[in-house]
A and B are shown apart, each in its own frame.
Chain A
Amino acid sequence: MYFDVDELFTRLTPLKADSVLSLVQEQENFQAQVNLNTSPTLPEPLDVLNADLIIRSSDLVNFRVHNPVLVMASPFFRDLLSFPQSYESETADGLPVIQLSEDAELLNSLVSMLYPVGLVIPESYDKVLYLLAACQKYDMAHVQSLIRDEVSCGRFPAPVGTEAFRAYAIASGKGLIPEMENAARQTLDYPMTFETLGEGLRFFDGSVLRDLVRFRKGCRHNLVTELQSFLNFYAPAPSSIWVGCPEATAPSQWNLTLPAASVLPKWLCRVLSPINDLKSQVFTQPLTTPSNIRGKYLTALLNHGDCNFCLRVHVKGGLTFCAELESKLAQALEKVHTSLPLLSRYSEFNSLRYAAIVVNPRVQLT
């Protein structure tokens, strides 16, 4: 019995134009590219007793597994293995073989999550994404959830710094919606320029890059609007606590048309009116986000000098004020999404693909 799952996916994927003569090398197989930079040493497969099935990696490492374990973890394999199969079968050591398109390093991690053994931790966040993508492909929802938990707990790698741009591209390409959203939000803390993206641009599909550009602009709009709302100094608005700084030219009589800059401390007005409000700086500067607003606030306050009034207000209510700022900015960001069109696209594609497998499981036999 010999299944070539890769062949199956190839047949079910819409045909692409011949690009043999292309000047650029399209990165259709991100995983292969990532592995170019790593050690070619193949992992030692997990020693599983009484296995009754072999899954074989793209680099020809056999992983012995139990059919019921695979069936329990994956409705995809449950359906695949529940149909009588072709008699032109390939076996190894008398066990049926399923050929998969993932490499041994990835399958080693994946298999370690099916058994009560130590988890094989992926070396990088890119590899975590490929692992998640494999789970998505094989409909292993529980394992996927486990991996996400491991990332949240910090046991599995997470994207660091500008790696977020590449993570966004990979996650988009693989239809990993939560990772895509997280990575997109993380990119806001960095400039989005050709210099920042560098070679990571190769991982992007053009429309995915456009979506990220639009996401950033949408976020900037919401963030700036939210920050500007903090220029309201009338009680009970959060910024009302700052009225009284001697460096602000506070008038004796307030009126509704009074500009905030003449009542609120100037350092605070600068924090709340970020320069990335300017169109040209949306991409060349990091945006003011929940993750960096507190730092900006503290830096500005320290540069304000020996203003007893502002220091007193800070001691009394500064942290609450910061928390309120962070919360409002986070809410502003939550209203912007990168992935709705992608989500519907992937849902449709996956359901069609899965339906095709169930209806005709022999389509992939070689």
Chain B
Amino acid sequence: MPSSDEPLSNAFFEYPGADFILRSQDSYHFRVPKSYIINASPVLDKLISGAPSTPDNAHGGPSLPVVQLPESGAILHSLLTFIFPVGPLVPSNPEVAMELLHVAQKYQMVTVLDHIRGSIARQNPPPTQQDAVLHIYALAQKYGLHQEALQAARAILKFSMNFTDLEDKLDMMSGSALYELWKYHRKVRSILASDLTEFRTSGARGSLIGLRCAELSSSQIPHWVDSYIESIGDAPHLFDVTEFHTALLRHLPDKGSNGIPGCACKLIPNQTICNFGEALTSVVQGSFEKVGVF
């Protein structure tokens, strides 16, 4: 696989059987067979068919028609590695990766787009830090990448969304992109709150049946569990195993005491917590997936 550090001039496409030249915005030439390109992209197919034949005599060999594209040589080079049977050149930098996806999307390269997405996912795991995820979201918005924007927006649900926490990150994106993100969060919160209410009233889908607690809610689950589930509806970022255990610790009395009479929350079996966690995850993920378009 060519390295992304390899100078572009050393990595030109001089493909055997080339019958035309793609010229980048910064004047790099890629000699390629037309058949690969037109199969990969209906947009380039039209562009190539409609382009006047502009011979390139610079190399002294047989002249080939040239099609000028507005992308940089680096991006075209990377893109071509996903079209031809060579090792794909996956950008390690998110800005370039998003630009590459944008170009593939612009030229309607459906298969290539999947290939690039798969390669990026393998090489660069999705970020988990708030700054990085917001950056990806902003780039996805900038480049019109719906799938990436949605993935990033879902990842951002893990963080609180208010001006106190976002202050230093606000200049990453336009107000319009931020507004769409907030609308998405609002919609998710609304659906999540409704689904969680159903989950609570169903007694956490039976995952906590038989649990003895001194303070049970009307749906016969411990009151602290009920409150914890409810809190996720208001703030999805609280959907976290640590937050669950924090809620449990708040419920349990001081270590020195003998506990609340009749309460067995201290001794909840791991399997019960696991079952509850799976049931809750299923509800939360289901709610997230209901909001797909924004």
Contact = CB atoms under 8 A, between A and B. Distances in A.
A binds B: yes
Interface of A: 17-27, 169, 192-194, 199, 201-210, 213-214, 217, 279-280, 282-284
A169 B175 CA distance: 10
A23 B174 CA distance: 12
B146 A23 contact: yes
Interface residues of B, number: 32
A213 B163 contact: yes
B142 A22 contact: yes
Contact of A214 (B102, B161, B167, B177): B167
Nearest to A191: B163
A206 B170 contact: yes
5 contacts: A22-B142, A24-B180, A202-B175, A203-B175, A206-B171
B149 A21 contact: no
Contacts of A25: 176
A280 B163 CA distance: 9
B173 interface: yes
Contact of A21 (B102, B168, B175, B180): B102
Given A205-B174, A283-B162, 10 more contacts: A21-B105, A23-B140, A193-B163, A194-B161, A201-B178, A204-B175, A206-B171, A206-B173, A217-B167, A284-B162
Contacts of A193: 162-163
Contacts of B180: 23-24
Contacts of B186: 194
B81 to A, nearest CB: 22
B220 interface: no
A172 to B, nearest CB: 11
Contacts of A206: 170-175, 178
Interface string B150-190: 00000000000111101110111111111110100010000
B144 A21 contact: yes
Contacts of B145: 23
A89 B70 CA distance: 34
Contact of B176 (A26, A192, A214, A280): A26
B171 A207 contact: yes
Given A19-B142, A207-B170, A207-B171, A24 B164 contact: no
B179 A202 contact: yes
Given A17-B142, A199-B179, A210 B168 contact: yes
Contacts of B178: 201, 204, 206, 209
B143 interface: yes
Nearest to A281: B164
Contacts of A209: 170-171, 175, 178
Interface string B91-110: 00000000000100110000
B58 to A, nearest CB: 28
A174 to B, nearest CB: 15
B141 interface: yes
Interface string B123-151: 00000000000000000111111100100
Contacts of A169: 175
Interface in B218-260: none
Nearest to A201: B179
B162 A201 contact: no
B179 A23 contact: no
Give the top 6 A-B pairs by smallest Cβ distance, nearest first: A21-B144, A204-B175, A210-B170, A201-B179, A24-B176, A207-B171
Given A194-B161, A194-B182, A279-B164, A21 B106 contact: yes
Contacts of A18: 70
Contacts of B162: 193-194, 283-284
A205 B167 contact: no
Contact of A201 (B106, B143, B168, B175): B175
A213 B170 contact: yes
Given A206-B171, A209-B175, A23 B164 contact: no
Nearest to B168: A210
Contacts of A202: 175-176, 179
A19 to B, nearest CB: 7
Contacts of B146: 23
Contact of B175 (A20, A205, A213, A217): A205
A208 to B, nearest CB: 8
Contacts of A213: 163, 166-167, 170
A207 B173 CA distance: 8
B283 to A, nearest CB: 25
Contacts of A20: 144
Contacts of A23: 140-141, 144-146, 149, 177, 180
Contacts of A19: 142, 144
Contacts of B161: 194
A201 B164 contact: no
Contact of B164 (A21, A199, A282): A282
Query: Which of A22, A26, A204 is packed against the most chain B CB atoms within 10 Å?
Result: A22
Query: Which of B140, B144, B166, B179 is packed against the most chain A CB atoms within 10 Å?
Result: B179
Contacts of A284: 162
Interface in B10-62: none
Nearest to B172: A206
Nearest to A198: B179
Contacts of A21: 102, 105-106, 143-144
A210 B167 CA distance: 6
